[in-house]
Chains A and B, each alone.
Chain A
């Protein structure tokens, strides 16, 4: 800090925020993630179509381009897309779509479209973007059944992104509790917990995940499968966090200000809640942020392999199942778009976590 006088009256939380704000990349990543989570929360509204609605006129159709100027050269204030005209290549039997300038499908914002149940609470029919009935809009193309990839990615975001958050929350509870016990009690119990962690960490994760998720009964409801996948993923992931927490507990227990609190006569509960936890809350938040992409990637991997979430559920991993053969790359590359979103989210979480870590690092800043 250049001028300590300026920072005199600021709490460490404010100082952390000031340091975080200097990390432009992390700030942008944070904004991007908030934006994605907002869309995921209101996905029924933002998606133009139901995830399972099929457009029979567009099977494996490529993304449509948004136009403002039609082929007569007239400017339209309202953006529009051209409909598809389908020809089947007589030699290869491949469906070839071209834009048909005769059909213009105007895009309407905040207009009535397909009916949907919002959060299963009430039915509504307004969408962020939609087209008139009988017309269609496929910004990211369609899949083999004519389902809109754009809508499915938005619906998939709800599952994939929330799974990361809930999974990490569960990991946090397990990791902080077990790591805290190991670090605070120490001795034999610490030793036992460390050995258990070592065994868990030495099992190859992918086969273990596959074995565990194969054990999930097939007849379970999608929600049941969703939560059992979360439990399976957190069951493996808590070990890393538990080690971090244990290490922090062991280090902090010997800190002078903790000894001072003990000599003042503070109870154990008071020492833990007032002195220990606030001191490594920032570390926990950082570690958790860096653990979310691991969760999302794991879910994607499991679903891609067909042992995670299954078909009626829409997650990014489930969407990527359709991209399992090499023809996709040549003929229908837009089916890989969910993968781009996975990459973007993982990068954003990593950048955000890096920024948080730098901001929370007590040795990075104030040396008075």
Chain B
């Protein structure tokens, strides 16, 4: 029996195209995510790759209902049973949010600059576990230690930290409620390469400790290769290829995947980067 924590079926996200003017009206719609289906196994990591504008971020944000999807279903195995995230009202989603969390791309924009680290990391606790407020402080200190930050960070503001440290704060905030599904939206692409490795290793360690399931959105194929078992390749809102990461890397079936793979620079400086010519490929 497969233990899928999330099953997404025929999932589409559309944005209305409005005609500007005194009386604006809808003149069409733009399909950002088109009929996407996939599933994620509990405890595994799924990578979603694609170029800018391919709909990766829109897809994961719509799964978490930061944006409302147009059609399809996203069935999430919560602690109390399977629920379709697309059918729930915003209010009904609130108790589920403690089981699924998101780590953002930009560690500078995703932390409120006017709140202290202690308040940022404890906000999920204040929202979902207000009755345990005496233990909040201890839980925050414990969580900060787990992501490699010292307890003296508590009373500082986000601007006092480097990008890597801020991303650790964001990770602490996402994991403090012990979620089962964590969506990392380009979680390391804004960081220095050396810091990227540290944060990735931290995420791997935490996955083992806390039995987390990751959906990992990235445009860096090497990160996905290193990190995930399964991968989806997205292009213009559709999934063009999916399967085990090894298979995608060694024997890509779709031209777009080949294009992406050919654009990875080699570690050997003598090998010149020669990406495939976009026009010679059949991408649709």
Interface residues of A (CB under 8 A from B): 4, 7-12, 191, 255-257, 259-267, 270, 274-275, 278-279, 362, 366, 368
| 18 residue pairs from A and B, CB less than 8 Å apart | A7-B159, A9-B160, A11-B114, A12-B113, A12-B159, A257-B111, A257-B112, A259-B66, A260-B110, A260-B170, A262-B66, A263-B102, A264-B101, A264-B173, A265-B94, A270-B127, A362-B113, A368-B161
| Closest B residue by C-beta to A191 | B24
Chain A residues whose C-beta falls within 8 Å of the C-beta of B112 in the assembled complex: 257, 261, 274-275, 278-279
**Closest CB in chain A relative to B222 CB, distance in Å:** 25
Contact A265 B161 (CB under 8 A): no
Q: Given the complex of chains A and B, what is the CA–CA distance between A263 and B96 in angstroms? A: 10
Given contacts A11-B114, A263-B101, A264-B123, 15 further A-B contacts (CB under 8 A): A8-B156, A8-B160, A255-B109, A256-B106, A257-B110, A257-B113, A260-B102, A260-B104, A260-B111, A263-B64, A263-B102, A264-B127, A267-B127, A279-B114, A368-B161
Q: Which of B104-128 contact A (CB under 8 A)?
A: 104-106, 109-116, 123-124, 127-128
Contact A263 B66 (CB under 8 A): yes
Partner of A9, one of B102, B115, B155, B162: B155
Chain A residues whose C-beta falls within 8 Å of the C-beta of B128 in the assembled complex: 265
Is B249 located at the chain interface by the 8 A CB criterion? no
Contact A266 B160 (CB under 8 A): no
| Closest A residue by C-beta to B185 | A256
Contact A264 B124 (CB under 8 A): yes
The interface residues of chain A, by DSSP majority, are classed as helix
Q: Given the complex of chains A and B, what is the CA–CA distance between A260 and B101 in angstroms? A: 9
List the 4 shortest-distance A-B pairs measured between CB atoms, nearest first: A265-B97, A256-B110, A256-B109, A8-B160
Given A255-B109, A256-B104, A368-B160: A264 and B114 interface contact (C-beta under 8 Å):
no
Q: Give per-residue flags for B2-26: 1 if the beta carbon is below 8 A from chain A beta carbons, else 0.
A: 0000000000000000000000100
Q: Which of B133-162 contact A (CB under 8 A)?
A: 155-157, 159-162
Contact A264 B110 (CB under 8 A): no
**Closest CB in chain A relative to B233 CB, distance in Å:** 25
Chain B residues whose C-beta falls within 8 Å of the C-beta of A261 in the assembled complex: 112, 123
Q: Given the complex of chains A and B, what is the CA–CA distance between A275 and B127 in angstroms? A: 14
Is B81 located at the chain interface by the 8 A CB criterion? no
Chain B residues whose C-beta falls within 8 Å of the C-beta of A4 in the assembled complex: 159-160
Q: Which of B67-98 contact A (CB under 8 A)?
A: 93-95, 97-98
Q: Given the complex of chains A and B, what is the CA–CA distance between A62 and B177 in angstroms? A: 77
Interface centre among A4, A10, A263 (most CB of B within 10 A): A263
Interface residues of B (CB under 8 A from A): 24, 61, 64, 66, 93-95, 97-98, 101-102, 104-106, 109-116, 123-124, 127-128, 155-157, 159-162, 170, 173
Q: Given the complex of chains A and B, what is the CA–CA distance between A263 and B114 in angstroms? A: 19
| Closest B residue by C-beta to A260 | B110
Q: Given the complex of chains A and B, what is the CA–CA distance between A247 and B98 in angstroms? A: 31
Q: Given the complex of chains A and B, what is the CA–CA distance between A285 and B251 in angstroms? A: 60
Q: Given the complex of chains A and B, what is the CA–CA distance between A270 and B24 in angstroms? A: 32
Chain B residues whose C-beta falls within 8 Å of the C-beta of A263 in the assembled complex: 64, 66, 97, 101-102
Chain A residues whose C-beta falls within 8 Å of the C-beta of B106 in the assembled complex: 256
Q: Given the complex of chains A and B, what is the CA–CA distance between A275 and B64 in angstroms? A: 20
**Closest CB in chain A relative to B109 CB, distance in Å:** 4
| Closest B residue by C-beta to A264 | B124
Chain B residues whose C-beta falls within 8 Å of the C-beta of A279 in the assembled complex: 112-114
Partner of A264, one of B97, B116, B156: B97
**Closest CB in chain A relative to B108 CB, distance in Å:** 9
**Closest CB in chain A relative to B35 CB, distance in Å:** 25
Partner of B156, one of A9, A266, A267: A9
Chain B residues whose C-beta falls within 8 Å of the C-beta of A264 in the assembled complex: 97, 101, 123-124, 127, 173
Chain A residues whose C-beta falls within 8 Å of the C-beta of B93 in the assembled complex: 265
Chain A residues whose C-beta falls within 8 Å of the C-beta of B124 in the assembled complex: 264-265
| Closest A residue by C-beta to B106 | A256
| Closest A residue by C-beta to B105 | A256
**Closest CB in chain A relative to B147 CB, distance in Å:** 16
**Closest CB in chain A relative to B60 CB, distance in Å:** 11
Chain B residues whose C-beta falls within 8 Å of the C-beta of A257 in the assembled complex: 109-113
| Closest B residue by C-beta to A366 | B159
**Closest CB in chain B relative to A325 CB, distance in Å:** 49
**Closest CB in chain B relative to A348 CB, distance in Å:** 29
Interface centre among B24, B66, B112 (most CB of A within 10 A): B112
Contact B66 A266 (CB under 8 A): no
Chain A residues whose C-beta falls within 8 Å of the C-beta of B111 in the assembled complex: 257, 260
| Closest B residue by C-beta to A281 | B114
Chain B residues whose C-beta falls within 8 Å of the C-beta of A7 in the assembled complex: 159-160
**Closest CB in chain B relative to A31 CB, distance in Å:** 27
Contact A368 B66 (CB under 8 A): no
Contact B160 A11 (CB under 8 A): no
Chain A residues whose C-beta falls within 8 Å of the C-beta of B123 in the assembled complex: 261, 264, 266
Q: Given the complex of chains A and B, what is the CA–CA distance between A10 and B112 in angstroms? A: 15
**Closest CB in chain B relative to A277 CB, distance in Å:** 10
Q: Given the complex of chains A and B, what is the CA–CA distance between A41 and B19 in angstroms? A: 55
Q: Given the complex of chains A and B, what is the CA–CA distance between A259 and B110 in angstroms? A: 8
Chain A residues whose C-beta falls within 8 Å of the C-beta of B159 in the assembled complex: 4, 7, 12, 366, 368
Chain A residues whose C-beta falls within 8 Å of the C-beta of B115 in the assembled complex: 274
| Closest A residue by C-beta to B65 | A263
Interface centre among B66, B114, B116 (most CB of A within 10 A): B114
Chain B residues whose C-beta falls within 8 Å of the C-beta of A278 in the assembled complex: 112, 114
Partner of B98, one of A9, A260, A265, A366: A265
Q: Given the complex of chains A and B, what is the CA–CA distance between A266 and B91 in angstroms? A: 10
Q: Given the complex of chains A and B, what is the CA–CA distance between A32 and B137 in angstroms? A: 45
